[in-house]
Every structure is written in structure tokens, then in C-alpha cells.
Structure 1
Amino acid sequence: MKQSAAQQGGGIAHGKPQLSFWQIWNMCFGFLGIQFGFALQNANVSRIFQTLGADMDTLPGLWIAAPLTGLIVQPIVGYLSDRTWTGLGRRRPYFMVGAVLASIALLLFPNVSALWMAAGLLWMLDASINISMEPFRAFVGDQLPVRQRASGYAMQSFFIGVGAVVASLLPWLLAKYGVSNTAGPGEVPDTVRYAFYAGGAVLLLAIAWTVLRTREYPPEKLHAWDEAPPLARRPRDAARVRRNALAWLLAGSIGVIAVALGGWDRQLYIFAGLLTAYGVALLLRSLRQGEGAFSHIMDDLYDMPPTMRQLAVVQFFSWFALFAMWIYTTGAVTSVHYGSADTTTAAYNEGANWVGVLFAAYNGFAALAAVLIPWMVKRWGLRISHLINATLGGLGLLSFAVIRDPQWLLLSMVGVGFAWASILSLPYALLSDSVPAQKMGVYMGIFNFFIVIPQLVAASLLGVLLKVFFGSQPIYALVIGGISLLVAGLCVLRVREPAPHAAVAAANP
């Protein structure tokens, strides 16, 4: 990305310069590769797990790698990238490291022969994707003024949609061209294998394009151009923090004991562990003196802007629903719409490939929605637009329970696609004017807490809910997800709108 004279030195007094369409295109292009890998993971990992012998009840626990790595990796990478400045910039070194590691994981994944190996590679793949993904969110805040950030996030949503369409369709397309779509017990079909190989190459090349075609502003310029109000530090009360820590620890410990003694589902350990881990983190911060990454992240979590607190609830119900969809759509469609849960049958694998088509469809509709969302924001504002899109997504997931012809599920994915595009852009637009430049990375990482915590809760509770109340039928996980999206849409009405100038600018990028 070539910079103007104002960008290189003379623009500080006049605020952060606007970027051209192609400059925004180049800085977001790497998201095509990230989503290519992410979509292959979402559409095929449950299939690989089932092929290697996993049953429906254990799938959420195996998927725990995805949210847990994000919970750990993103705030650390955000904190470090805020403090990084090299010849390659502050965010771009993390783009490349994550891309190389993710590409290696994608090449290895379809060749595993044991379930534990697949679970381990999912940890590696998701951690690597998170290393690249987190700085991309902060990159938009670094490079663009507030009035253009909605355009930047919408461009990311566009590339997310395009990348996911192609990646989700790959196994189905390869089968159409004669590549084998079935394999022996415990073996991954060639359609999936070759799709993962292609994904590794696309991910690396797309991120390399952004790294080579963009430049970054040094920290002193970002600080001078900062448009966010200063954060107010909340009063510290160490004694109160310790009391809260002990309460969380007690709740988590009671949960662990109850699961152990009551013979409850082992996946509930995840939920009890979340409570315990938060208690431990609070206790350590109350006892710890001095500086460091852990102390800074915990303090920034405590001081996060009110808008972020309001959005946390919206994100919780949104991502709970998405996680339910990613885990259970394959099982729901193959069992309900194709009538087979046997991974060696042609019917199961035809249904699994159709899930890839459905995932491609919702991402394609998301790319279309990314073009329409700025018009929606201009007409109805950020909150009402997000309410409309989340409602469409909720109705789309609920419709899986009543539609029987799998071809008509494409209509369901229209709503899911609009919700997906909105979830990837409008919460960030709502948040954009409240995060200071010098903490953009760490706060984007902290914001990710409210993406991954609901996924961890879903991983611990969904399997139990299905087993206890719904006879382990995966279609009901999609019903639960649909209701969750409807709740998320209603919760966005509580969120503070950005300042009028920012909201108007977001609608007129």
C-alpha cells in the first residue's frame, strides 16, 4: 500500500488520513486466507472426528480447542502487538507467524489416523489462526479513522464470505469432478484431504499479500491521531476483588465436586473449570504487585469501556448459537435430511458434503449482506440493523427443524448469512469509538473473551442438554441456537450507540 505525504509525515495535525478503496482491499485481503482455513475447520472437523470414531455426545468436548485457544491466545497477542515495533510493523509479524503455523496444521490434519491426533492438531490450527486473526481486527482500528472503520470491518466480512464460500464448497466440487468422496473406516476421504491442502496454500498466500502490500503507522502517529476518549480507571478495592475471587473459586469447586460425585456428564467440568479459572485469575491479580502482561490484561479487563460490557451479552448469545451450528449441522442434516448417521455410507457422506454447500451458501449470503449492511445502518442505525440481522439468523436456524427437503435449507442460510455478516461487523462498529489507539490490540483480544466464553459454555452444556432432554438428537442444538440468536438481537437494544458523528460516518464510508 503506497502512502501519501500526509500519511508519511504531514497528516498528524489533520487527523488520520482516509484510505482509498484499494488500500482497504489490500489491508483486508489476508482475511480471505484466514477464513479459508477457518471454514474448512468449521465444515469438516466434526466429520473428521466422527470418521475417527467420535460419537455425538463427545463432539463438543473435542471442539473445546477452538474457543479455549482464542481465550488464551488473542489477549496475549493483542497485548504484545500493541508493544511491538519492527521493520515489518507491529501487527504484520503476527500475521505471518500465524499463517505459517496454520498452513502446516492444515496440511497435516487430513492425514491423522487417531482421534487424539486430530484433537491435538485442532489445538494447533486454532491457535495459529488466532495468532493471525486478532491483529487483523486491531489493524483496522490502527489504519482507519473512525468514519471508515465500518467500511474496513465490512470489507473483512466480504472476504470472510468469499473465502468461506470457496472453502466450504471444495469437497463437494471435488466430488463432482470425480475425486473419491468415501473411504474405509477411520480414513478421511480424498475430497476432504485435497481441500485441506488447498486451504494451506491459500491461507499463506493471502496473508503474504496483505503483509507485502500494506504499511503501518508508527506508535507515535497512532497516539497523536487517537480519536477515542480516555478510559476512566475504576476504583480499586483489593479486598473486594479477593472476596469475589473466593466466591468464583467456591462456585467452581462446588461444580467440580458435584460432577465428580454425582456422576454427571464429564463435559460439565468445562463449565466448572471456567468459574474456577476466573476465580484464580482474580485472586492472582489481587495478590500480584508490579507490571507484566497478566497484570495489564486483568486491569484492562476491569477498566473496559461500558459499551464493551453491554456488547458482551450480545456476543454471548450470538456465539453460543454459532458454535451450536458449527458442531451439530453435520449431524443434524445427515441424520434428519439424509437418514444416516453411519460415516461409511454414501448417504452420510452426501449429506456431509451438502453441509459444506450450506456453509458456503451462508458465507456467500454474508458477502452480499456486507454490501447491504452500510445501507441498513444509514436507514435504521447500528442497533436496529443488528437486531434485524440477528432475528433473520435465528429464524434460519429454527427452520432446520421444520424443513425436510435439504435443498430448501439454502433458504435457511439466507438468514444465517445476514446474521453472520452482522456479527462480524456491527458489534465492532458499535465499539469503535470507545477503544484508545494504544490499547487497540489488547481490547480486541479482550473483546474476543465474549466470543470464546459462550463457545466454551456451549461445549460444556450442549451435549448434556441434548442427552437429557432431546435424546441426543443434534437437530435440537440448532433450535437452541436459533432461540439464542433471537435473544442476542433483543439484547443489542441495550447497547449505547456511538457518538452521532461516528454513526453517520459509519453509514457513509
Structure 2
Amino acid sequence: MKLPEGDRRRSRDRPAVREPPVARVPLRKLFRVASVACGIQFGWALQLSLLTPYVQELGIPHAWASVIWLCGPLSGFFVQPLVGHTSDRCTSRFGRRRPFIIAGALSIVIAVLVVGYSADLGWLFGDSARSGTKVGAIAAFVLGFWLLDVANNMTQGPCRALLADLTGKDHRRNRVANAYFSLFMAVGNVLGFATGSYSGWFKILPFTLSPACGTDCANLKSAFILDVAFIAITTSISISAANELPLDHSHPHSHEEMPGQSSNSQEAFLWELFGTFRYLSGPVWVILLVTALTWIGWFPFLLFDTDWMGREIYGGKPNEGQNYNLGVRMGSFGLMVNSVFLGITSVLMEKLCRKLGAGAVWGISNILMSLCFISMLIISHIANNVDKVGDLPPDGVVAAALIVFAILGIPLAITYSVPYALISSRIESLGLGQGLSMGVLNLAIVIPQVVVSLGAGPWDQLFGGGNSPAFAVAAVAAFASGLIAILAIPRSGGADKSKGHR
């Protein structure tokens, strides 16, 4: 059939990537493919629970601790879209996504070993036990930490895109696949936070102790050694289940370039990435806005959750007594419980979205997140003004903090799943590859993270050095994102039209 002139013009103007044909993939295979999220998130959980406190123990002030995290959003800004763009066009006989997943997993292994052995490397560079600020250890730590962020971004984008490839236009299965991914993130979180909260790893792996690395350092090192084994196992399970179809580079339309773009797509990558924004529809812009506000809410919590427990609930400071370390370990336990709620919510995700609509589920969860952050401000105030039991906070204050951590697992599960399903279904009509689509969504995540990384520490310092000011901003952003999601994301649309694909 010959297209009308207007349709031909729009077809020529639209960037397109022709995806390989998709057969209906069994749910058990999607489950196995999604398992790689467990290994990735195991390392993320260790990073989130242990590394902000650890970097302060090395001598970096609290006001600058958030700047160390700047590489995560910066690498996400460039690495994940670039990897997604490149994997859309990868013609490897092993598939489009799997080579990047393997390379990312290997990079994670190298990075966590550098982080875990940063104190030993610093000792080789001239640090001593009497050093206040361990310059060599900090240099090794920052190198490993930043490489870890790059590797995580290199791995997660292709993982999400692979699930979207395998589900094709079946929006219900796409939501199920993202729920599986979220479930495995929860399992990885549970295991990672449980590992971070245990203080006896140095006894099980005594070789981790060294003149440069005491018990706290040895526990961190041991946890990252376990992470190496875990990422190897889950990556193997995932890539062996994928059975990707290679992209046919011999076909003249296997991947079409944008008008005026050179055949060297790597050189034109940034132009293509930002050029896609002019093709985005109103609903996609709303999803990106809600995503950005959501991550302004989440990132202060992810940066300072265990630090908040150590400083403001237990009243400790790094390298001063045991209260801070006790609080950090209790915070890791709270994050483990958080992950249990995350996993339960992931299992119920599909039913919730079918009943209420994905936009309403997302909006309600973000308002719940806002209320939790407000509760944390109230708990901080109570902890600072209540009589302590000896040198420790009352059990009721600690229990209240743990309950808030647990409840936050519900909106975190929604954040890990719903935006990806929404963007995947609504952006397919533009002809973009799923890898580049995930890169576009990632921009709405990393730009707010850059703002928070640069501003959270100085902002907190301006109001006395605690974490409460950042949590106040997070509460406002989360509430605003919830209202926009409820009011502006319609229930009808690609993400919710699933009955025809059962």
C-alpha cells in the first residue's frame, strides 16, 4: 500500500531502528534474564550502605561526601546513552546486548576489588596508621568508586533494553519483565544490605585484615570479595538464557540513520541523542519530568541513609567512638528490610498497574515517599531532643526509623519498574531502539543526581551539617512528582493496553 505524502514525510523524518523479529518468550526465560539485576544490585547495596560512611572515615568531610558520588550521574549522562545507542546497532554474533553486559560485569569486578583494597593500595602509596586524611587510600577509592559507577551504568542499560527486546510490543509482558527486574534488585538489595550489616566478615575471611586495613575496613573488603562471586554467577545465568538474535547488518534497513547523519553513528551520537527530544510526545515529556522530580527525592536518601542513622539517630561521628558504626550497621539492616518490601511490591506490581493504572500507582507511591521523608525529619527532631538510654537512642526512635526505611521499599519498587515500562511502550512508535530509549530516560535520572551531588553537602552544611535539609527538599520534590503523575499520566495508553497480549 502506498503511503500518503504526509505519512511518507513523517516516516523519513523519524529516526528508526528496525528491531529483529521477536518470538513470544516464556516467562521463565525472562525471569532468568532479569536475574543479572540481583548481582548488580548486590554491589549497589554495598555501595549505598557502606561507602558514604567509609569515605568519611578516610578523612573526607561530610560536606564533600556527596561530591564523590558525582561520577555516577555524570557517567550515566554519557555512558548509558552511548552504550544503549551502540548496542542498538551492534552486529556481534553473540547478540546486541550480551557483549555489553559481559564487559560491564567484568568492569564491576575490577572496580569493587580496587575499592575493597583501597586502604592497602593507599598504604603502598605512603599512607600510615597515623595519617588523618589517607590521601593514597582516597585516590584509590575514588578511582575504583568512579569506575564502579561507569561499570554499573554500562551494564544496567543493556539489561533493561534486552528485556524490552525480548518482550517486543507485548506491553503486559514488558511490565512483567520489569517487575522481575525489580524483584531481583530487591533480592540483591537484601543480600547486599545483610552483608553490609554483618560485622564479623573479617573472622570468616581473616586474610582481609592487614596493617592498613582494620576490622571495619576488612569487613568492607570481604563484602566486595563476595560481590565478585555473586556478579559472576548471576551474569552467567542471565546471558545463557537470552538467546539473542544478532542484528542483520547486511540488510539495508537494519538500522536507519537520522536525516543528515553520517554513516559513522558514533561520531554523531550526541547529536542523535539530543535530536530525539524533538520527536517526543507530550506524555513522554511528562514521564521524563516525573522521573526527574522522583530522583531529586530519592538521591539524598540513597546518599545519606546509613549516614543519617549513624549521625542523627545514634548521635555519632566517623572515627569517634562506636555510635556511628552501630548506626551505620543498623541503617544497613533497615535497608535490608526495605528490600523485602521492595520485593513483595514487585510481585504485586502487575496487578496494581492493571487495577489503578501505571500513572496512578506511580503517583501514589511518590506521595508515600514524600510522607516518609517528612517522618524522617520528625524522627531526627525527636532523636535530638529525647533523653538517651546510656549513650544510645531509645528503642522506640530506632524502631520508628526502621519502619520508615521498610515502607520506603514500596515506592522504590515502583521507581525501579514503572517508568521503564511506560517509556518503553510509549517511545516505540518513534522508531527508536530500546537501548537509546533507555538512555533518554536515564538523562531524566542523572541530571537531577548531578544537582543533588553538587548541592546536597553544601546545602546541609549551610543549615548545620546534618542531613535534614536535603531530606526536606526530597520530600517537596517527591510530593510534586506524585501529583503530576496522578493528574497528567492517563490510565489509557500503551503501557496499560495489555489485554490483547495475554
Q: Is TM (by shorter chain) over 0.5?
A: yes
Whether contact under 8 Å (1:69, 1:126) holds in the other structure is yes
Deviation of 1:475 (Å): 3.0
- Do residues 208 (structure 1) and 236 (structure 2) align? yes
- How many Å separate the matches in 2 of 1:505 and 1:444? 21
Deviation of 1:127 (Å): 0.5
100-109 or 295-304: bigger deviation: 295-304
- Judged with a 3 Å threshold, the aligned counterparts in structure 2 of structure 1 residues 289 and 506 are, in CA distance, closer, same or farther, namely closer
SS of 1:424's equivalent in the other structure is: helix
- How many Å separate the matches in 2 of 1:171 and 1:360? 9
Match of 1:476 in 2: 469
User: TM-score normalized by structure 1?
Assistant: 0.79
- Judged with a 3 Å threshold, the aligned counterparts in structure 2 of structure 1 residues 331 and 102 are, in CA distance, closer, same or farther, namely same
Match of 1:315 in 2: 291
Mapping of residues 139-178 of structure 1, within 5 Å: 139-144=162-167, 145-175=170-200
Mapping of residues 64-463 of structure 1, within 5 Å: 64-113=70-119, 114-144=137-167, 145-175=170-200, 188-219=216-247, 292-403=268-379, 404=383, 405-436=397-428, 438-463=432-457
Whether contact under 8 Å (1:150, 1:506) holds in the other structure is no
Deviation of 1:220 (Å): 6.2
SS of 1:435's equivalent in the other structure is: helix
- How many Å separate the matches in 2 of 1:461 and 1:186? 32
- How many Å separate the matches in 1 of 2:333 and 2:341? 12
**Corresponding residue to 2:38 among 32, 36, 42:** 32
| Residue type at the aligned position of 1:419 | P
- How many Å separate the matches in 2 of 1:291 and 1:392? 43
- Judged with a 3 Å threshold, the aligned counterparts in structure 2 of structure 1 residues 290 and 485 are, in CA distance, closer, same or farther, namely closer
Whether contact under 8 Å (2:299, 2:452) holds in the other structure is yes
Match of 1:60 in 2: 66
SS of 1:341's equivalent in the other structure is: coil
| Residue type at the aligned position of 1:105 | A
**1:386-413 Cα shifts (integer Å, max 9, x gaps):** 1111122222222122234222222112
- Judged with a 3 Å threshold, the aligned counterparts in structure 2 of structure 1 residues 184 and 406 are, in CA distance, closer, same or farther, namely farther
| Residue type at the aligned position of 1:159 | F
Gaps in structure 2 of 5+ consecutive residues: 1-17, 120-136, 384-396
- How many Å separate the matches in 2 of 1:332 and 1:100? 32
Aligned positions, number: 437
Deviation of 1:186 (Å): 7.9
Deviation of 1:480 (Å): 2.5
- Judged with a 3 Å threshold, the aligned counterparts in structure 2 of structure 1 residues 183 and 492 are, in CA distance, closer, same or farther, namely farther
- Judged with a 3 Å threshold, the aligned counterparts in structure 2 of structure 1 residues 207 and 506 are, in CA distance, closer, same or farther, namely farther
- How many Å separate the matches in 2 of 1:344 and 1:88? 52
- How many Å separate the matches in 1 of 2:467 and 2:406? 21
**1:288-324 Cα shifts (integer Å, max 9, x gaps):** 9997323322322343343331112111111112210
Match of 2:391 in 1: none
- How many Å separate the matches in 2 of 1:18 and 1:377? 22
- Judged with a 3 Å threshold, the aligned counterparts in structure 2 of structure 1 residues 16 and 508 are, in CA distance, closer, same or farther, namely closer
**1:313-370 Cα shifts (integer Å, max 9, x gaps):** 1111111122101222232211221111133522111111111112212122111111
Deviation of 1:49 (Å): 0.6
- How many Å separate the matches in 2 of 1:428 and 1:44? 28
Whether contact under 8 Å (1:329, 1:478) holds in the other structure is no
Identity %: 23
| Residue type at the aligned position of 2:242 | T
**1:227-285 Cα shifts (integer Å, max 9, x gaps):** xxx99x9x99xxxxxxxxxxxxxxxxxxxxxxxxxxxxxxxxxxxxxxxxxxxxxxxx9
Deviation of 1:77 (Å): 0.2
Deviation of 1:476 (Å): 3.1
**1:473-503 Cα shifts (integer Å, max 9, x gaps):** 1133223222321121112135443755641
Gaps in structure 1 of 5+ consecutive residues: 1-11, 237-284
- Judged with a 3 Å threshold, the aligned counterparts in structure 2 of structure 1 residues 506 and 77 are, in CA distance, closer, same or farther, namely farther
Match of 2:13 in 1: none
Whether contact under 8 Å (1:18, 1:148) holds in the other structure is no
Whether contact under 8 Å (2:339, 2:409) holds in the other structure is yes
- How many Å separate the matches in 2 of 1:102 and 1:400? 33
SS of 1:163's equivalent in the other structure is: helix
- How many Å separate the matches in 1 of 2:421 and 2:488? 12
**Corresponding residue to 2:27 among 21, 32, 43:** 21
**1:173-198 Cα shifts (integer Å, max 9, x gaps):** 34399669999998553222211110
- Do residues 485 (structure 1) and 478 (structure 2) align? yes
- How many Å separate the matches in 1 of 2:481 and 2:223? 34
Match of 1:252 in 2: none
- Deviation beyond 6 Å, 4+ runs, structure 1: 179-186, 288-291, 506-509
User: TM-score normalized by structure 2?
Assistant: 0.80
- How many Å separate the matches in 2 of 1:291 and 1:344? 51
- How many Å separate the matches in 2 of 1:93 and 1:397? 40
- Do residues 497 (structure 1) and 490 (structure 2) align? yes
**1:146-201 Cα shifts (integer Å, max 9, x gaps):** 23100010000000001011101103234399669999998553222211110121
- How many Å separate the matches in 2 of 1:384 and 1:125? 34
Whether contact under 8 Å (2:367, 2:479) holds in the other structure is yes
**1:125-163 Cα shifts (integer Å, max 9, x gaps):** 110111111101111210002231000100000000010
SS of 1:503's equivalent in the other structure is: coil
- How many Å separate the matches in 2 of 1:213 and 1:20? 11
